[in-house]
Amino acid sequence: MNMTPSDPRMVALVDDLRKLPAESEWVEFKHNNYDAVLIGKLISAISNAARLAGQHFGYVVWGLRDDDHEAVGTTFQPSREKQQNQPLELWLSQRLQPDVAISFQPIEYRGVHLVLLEIPAAVTSPVEFERTAYIRIGSATPRLSDHSDRLRALWGKLQPYVWESGIADRFMTDEDILARLDYDSYFEFMGQPLPESRSAILFRLESERLIKADVGGRWSLTNLGAVLFAKRLENCSPSIARKGVRFVAYGGINRACTVTHRRDEQKGYACGFEGLIDFINGLLPRNEHIGKVFREERPLYPAIALRELIANALIHQDMTITGAGPLIELFSDRMEVTNPGQPLVQPDRFLDAPPRSRNEGLAALMRRMRLCEEQGTGIDKVLAAVELHQLPPPDFRVEGDAVRVVLYAPRRFADMTLEERIRACYQHAALKWVSGQRMTNTTLRERLGIETQNAAQASGVIKQTLNSGLIRPADPERPRSGYVPFWA
């Protein structure tokens, strides 16, 4: 049999698997037994067992002897095998739920032919073959439902699994890792000196789960490491490359207008964050503000609001949605920040609900690096800054499978729509509540820039917001004591 040179990583992987003292629940060695139904059950069992064992992958290797792991070779050629007149891999894929990206790898190994089946660990639910989930116990492959202790343990492992711990690239040398990641920025953000030795740098990156040990003394780059610190996201896998932040500026109020500026951010979120913020701030027009003594120029949008909304889009996006990343669009009258994924909290409760994130590791690390506010305070600061600048209220909305936040340019109260006035009243009441205060006619007038002699206008907005059910009197027997949001 003529064999082409094998992937060096696959050869190193087989070396590492052979060093195991015995087969484990996530590794199986076979000679020439390649019954299709048996393989299907093994895929289910090993995928589930790998997650239980804390492994990213499980393996079946044909051509290794069970007892001493000697490489004896196999006649198995999966590309030529058929089951019910279908290619074996297709037949298997159709019977596995959820979908499992299995991969048969022919390997030329020390003069013999091996086949390695790499099986991703279960991610969202137990993997089933023909509607039955299996598990490995020793060398047996029983039904998972017959072993309730393992089923409970598996669900416990599946629930905290996150995209961040997935693998973006594998079998990388020390030099590859250091060339791919902007590790200098990590130490700068942490306020720590750059270690003098390469091993100390790699140790710190590994301790932050930015990289993981791979086979053959090499490294794997995690999704978290890539999306935060990649020097060039385009050099990563397509699923990572498409997570780069896109910025588009238009010369008018809609997307049919001329595009005046475009930027497809290629740096990771952490190492590229400040540059992106500076770029956007540099494009924003300035408004003249007259203070008590001096005139000063202020950016069109408060810096803290811009920073927090972009950081939130990065942190709270659904990373499992392929082909989509955060999008920032600048129009002449507003800015829109969009991130893929349904919200875990309803938009009208962003301010008060306990913070939840799909990407806890990413969020925690960005906060430790002081790239965004402490957990649960970001939206407070956005609304407080908007009120200080007397801007129209931001609009938090769900559009399809995405969350969009619209930040509006300055506009007088007289030019606001009824919907905007009601939203401003509700947000003001909510902001007052989380600050330990109550909204009154006076505080709402200050928020909306209404003159004292026009207090009736604020009363009208309060009445309309009451009718919409978004606020209620703090004390029904004393309506003028103030108002609170409906959920208070």
Asked if residues 58 and 119 have their Cβ atoms less than 8 Å apart, the reply is yes
Span 407-466, pLDDT tens digits: 999 999 999 999 999 999 999 999 999 999 999 999 999 999 999 999 999 999 999 999
In the chain, count H helices and then E strands. 16, 22
pLDDT of residue 288: 56
Share of the chain above pLDDT 70, in %: 94
Contact 338, 327 (CB under 8 A): yes
Q: Which residues of 448-464 are buried (b: 16+ CB within 10 A; e: fewer)?
A: bebeeeeeebbeebbee
Of 69-78, 136-145, 264-273, 292-301, the range with the lowest mean pLDDT is 292-301
How does residue 2 score in pLDDT terms, banded at 50, 70 and 90?
A: very low
- Compute the mean pLDDT over every residue in the chain, rounded to the nearest whole number: 91
How do residues 358-382 score in pLDDT, each as one tens digit? 788 898 899 899 887 655 568 889 9
Per-residue pLDDT band at 289 (split at 50, 70, 90): low
- The pLDDT score that the predictor gives to residue 145 is 94
Mean pLDDT for 189-209 is 95
Q: What pLDDT was estimated at residue 349?
A: 87
pLDDT value at residue 351? 83
**Neighbour count for residue 194 (Cβ, 10 Å):** 12
Q: Regarding predicted confidence, which is higher, 250 or 165?
A: 250
Look at phi and psi of residue 360 and say left if phi exceeds 0, alpha if psi is from -120 to 50, else beta.
Answer: alpha
Q: Is 411 helix (H, G, I), strand (E, B) or coil?
A: coil
The pLDDT value recorded for residue 177 is 97
Among 43-47, 184-188, 252-256, 313-317, which stretch is predicted with the lowest mean pLDDT?
313-317
- Quick check: 420 and 448 in contact, CB under 8 A? no
Enter the DSSP assignment of 403. Answer: E
Answer for the pair 242, 324: CB distance below 8 angstroms, yes or no: yes
What is the pLDDT at residue 291? 45
pLDDT value at position 260? 96
